[in-house]
């Protein structure tokens, strides 16, 4: 079996992730940051380790500026629904996922409008478009750091610099890039960084969060939920300090134990080494697919401007059939369709048909890339024959 769906969930995980989760369940188990007994304190230490590992990865000085959520979607919803107010305006890239577009549609109903920045046909974004689209009341720029459809990496540092010049705050969705592409919150000029634990950070599903830069006053972001935090218990008013403001209720401590181990794996390997291997894989895959008659790659970016994800279509076969046959006949696991990103597909002119997406990961090999290319070539040859 060849698993090429790491853009959805990375798999397999480094073995230490499951071991950390097993240790948490069998030896610790308690609620972190409440109660004050030894197991509760140990659970709290494990959650703090996850916070510190994330802070180290993104060069954040204060780990308490990392707030954990269930996934990137919850993190993005927190910032989008909690930061702009009615009458204000938001700019977004044309490669956004529905985890951004659906909250923005909801915001529109509440009186906060947005503008989608224009991209070139291949998906590139000229950061100067931000200057043209900004208007009185624009407060926030939202950028998908890496497209979950085409793998294109947007120029967040350059865009962030322009946005700050214009007085905007910058929210970056790093769901596809955290752990795969270097990110430095301060140097890149970002204010909010949303991440998920279950992709390039090798944690389990159900972990994620966001980081707030020192520029952001947490009191200016309304939390999605309020509730118990283990702090200020005498008050029924929800706290306004970090990270408690965004962490109501018992957290997914067992998941965060796994996430801490996953991020430690990334830090020990080094993001640059992970990226080198993944770039080798995607380059090999892209070169092989580009040579197949009837196969078209969509929105493929140059080396240095892409993640390990790519999208293609095959003449004569629907994308859903390609994915089904790859799974059934070749045990190659891909994802077909719109990948929850209709806006990105409109930008790449692949809407509504969608694409077949291959997203290898750090644990894939170049032999597996060759086998996947061979499988696609066999399907394409069959399609050419039946088209006659």
Partner 1 sequence: MPSAQVLCVVLFDSTSAALRAEKLSRAAGLDVKLIPVPRHLSSDCGLCLRFRESDREPVTRILAESGLESAGVFPAASP
261 CB contacts (<8 Å, ≥6 apart)?
A: 14, 16, 17, 19, 20, 21, 202, 203
Which residues, in sequence order, are bridge partners of residue 171? 142, 192
What whole-number distance in Å separates Cα of residue 94 and Cα of residue 82? 22
Q: Which residue among 51, 145, 284, 298 contacts partner 1 (CB under 8 A)?
A: 51
24-43 residues in contact with partner 1 (CB under 8 A) are 32-36, 41
C-beta closer to partner 1: residue 35 or 366 = 35
Residue 353: CB atoms within 10 Å: 14
The sign of the CA dihedral 69, 228, 102, 172 is negative
C-beta closer to partner 1: residue 14 or 33 = 33
**Active-site residue, from 180, 308, 313, 340:** 340
Smallest distance from the beta carbon of 335 to partner 1, in angstroms?
36
Which residues, in sequence order, are bridge partners of residue 153? 146
Smallest distance from the beta carbon of 241 to partner 1, in angstroms?
5
In Å, what is the CA distance from 123 to each residue of 33, 174, 299, 354, 385? 45, 17, 6, 15, 33
**Which helix (H) or strand (E) covers residue 313, if one does?**
strand 310-314
Q: Which two tokens stand for residue 297?
A: 């790659």
Contact of 344 with 148, CB cutoff 8 Å: yes
Peptide bond before residue 12 is cis, with ω within 30 degrees of 0: yes
In Å, what is the CA distance from 328 to each residue of 75, 204, 264, 333, 358? 36, 27, 36, 9, 16
Smallest distance from the beta carbon of 224 to partner 1, in angstroms?
18
C-beta closer to partner 1: residue 148 or 229 = 229
C-beta closer to partner 1: residue 67 or 154 = 67
Number of residues that bind partner 1 (CB under 8 A): 26
C-beta closer to partner 1: residue 187 or 232 = 232
Q: Indicate whether 47 belongs to the interface with partner 1 (CB under 8 A).
A: yes
What whole-number distance in Å separates Cα of residue 159 and Cα of residue 134? 13
Smallest distance from the beta carbon of 36 to partner 1, in angstroms?
3
Smallest distance from the beta carbon of 185 to partner 1, in angstroms?
15
C-beta closer to partner 1: residue 48 or 340 = 48
Smallest distance from the beta carbon of 236 to partner 1, in angstroms?
13
Site string for partner 1, 233-272 (x = CB under 8 A): xx----x-xxxx----------------------------
Smallest distance from the beta carbon of 358 to partner 1, in angstroms?
40
C-beta closer to partner 1: residue 256 or 372 = 256
200-239 residues in contact with partner 1 (CB under 8 A) are 229-234, 239
Q: Which residue among 61, 109, 219, 385 contacts partner 1 (CB under 8 A)?
A: 61
Q: Which region among 1-9, 58-66, 309-317, 327-335 touches partner 1 (by CB under 8 A)?
A: 58-66
Catalytic status, residue 308:
no
As a 3-state breakdown, the chain gives helix, strand, coil percent values, each rounded to 5, of: 40, 15, 45
Q: Which residue among 15, 22, 45, 59 contacts partner 1 (CB under 8 A)?
A: 45
75: three-class secondary structure by DSSP: helix
C-beta closer to partner 1: residue 246 or 312 = 246
What whole-number distance in Å separates Cα of residue 141 and Cα of residue 6? 27
Contact of 271 with 179, CB cutoff 8 Å: yes
Smallest distance from the beta carbon of 71 to partner 1, in angstroms?
20
71-100 residues in contact with partner 1 (CB under 8 A) are none
What whole-number distance in Å separates Cα of residue 43 and Cα of residue 168? 38
Task: Name the CA dihedral angle for 345, 350, 353, 355, rounded to a multiple of 10 degrees.
Answer: -80
Point out which residues bind partner 1 (CB under 8 A): 32-36, 41, 44-45, 47-48, 51, 61-64, 229-234, 239, 241-244
**Residues classed as catalytic:** 340
């Amino acid at each position: 079996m060849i698993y090429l769906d790491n853009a959805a969930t990375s798999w397999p995980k480094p073995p230490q992730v499951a071991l950390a989760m097993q240790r948490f369940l069998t030896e610790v188990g308690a609620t972190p940051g409440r109660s004050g007994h030894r197991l509760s304190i140990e659970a709290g230490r494990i959650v703090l380790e996850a916070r510190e590992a994330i802070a180290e990865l993104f060069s954040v000085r204060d780990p308490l500026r990392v707030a954990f959520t269930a996934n990137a979607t919850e993190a993005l919803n927190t910032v989008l629904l909690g930061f702009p107010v009615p009458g204000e305006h938001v700019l977004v890239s044309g490669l956004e996922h529905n985890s951004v577009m659906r909250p923005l549609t909801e915001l529109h109903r509440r009186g906060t409008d947005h503008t989608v920045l224009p991209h070139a046909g291949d998906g590139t974004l000229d950061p100067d478009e931000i200057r043209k689209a900004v208007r009185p009341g624009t407060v926030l720029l939202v950028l998908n750091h890496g497209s979950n459809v085409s793998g294109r990496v947007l120029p967040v540092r350059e865009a962030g610099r322009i946005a700050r010049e214009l007085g905007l705050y910058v929210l970056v969705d790093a769901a596809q890039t955290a752990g795969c592409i270097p990110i430095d919150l301060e140097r890149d000029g970002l204010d909010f960084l949303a991440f998920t634990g279950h992709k390039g950070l090798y944690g389990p599903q159900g972990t994620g969060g966001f980081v707030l830069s020192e520029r952001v006053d947490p009191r200016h972001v309304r939390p999605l939920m309020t509730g118990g935090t283990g702090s200020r218990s005498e008050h029924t008013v929800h706290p306004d300090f970090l990270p408690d403001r965004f962490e109501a209720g018992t957290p997914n401590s067992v998941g965060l134990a796994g996430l801490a181990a996953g991020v430690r794996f990334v830090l020990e390997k080094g993001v640059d080494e992970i990226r080198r291997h993944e770039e080798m894989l995607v380059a090999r895959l892209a070169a092989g697919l580009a040579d197949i008659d009837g196969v078209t790659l969509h929105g493929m970016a140059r080396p240095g401007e892409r993640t390990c994800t790519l999208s293609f279509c095959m003449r004569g076969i629907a994308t859903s059939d390609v994915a089904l046959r790859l799974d059934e006949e070749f045990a190659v696991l891909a994802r077909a369709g719109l990948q929850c990103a209709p806006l990105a597909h409109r930008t790449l002119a692949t809407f509504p048909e969608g694409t077949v997406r291959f997203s290898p990961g750090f644990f894939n090999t170049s032999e597996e890339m060759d086998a996947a290319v061979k499988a696609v070539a066999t399907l394409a040859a069959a399609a050419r024959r039946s088209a006659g």
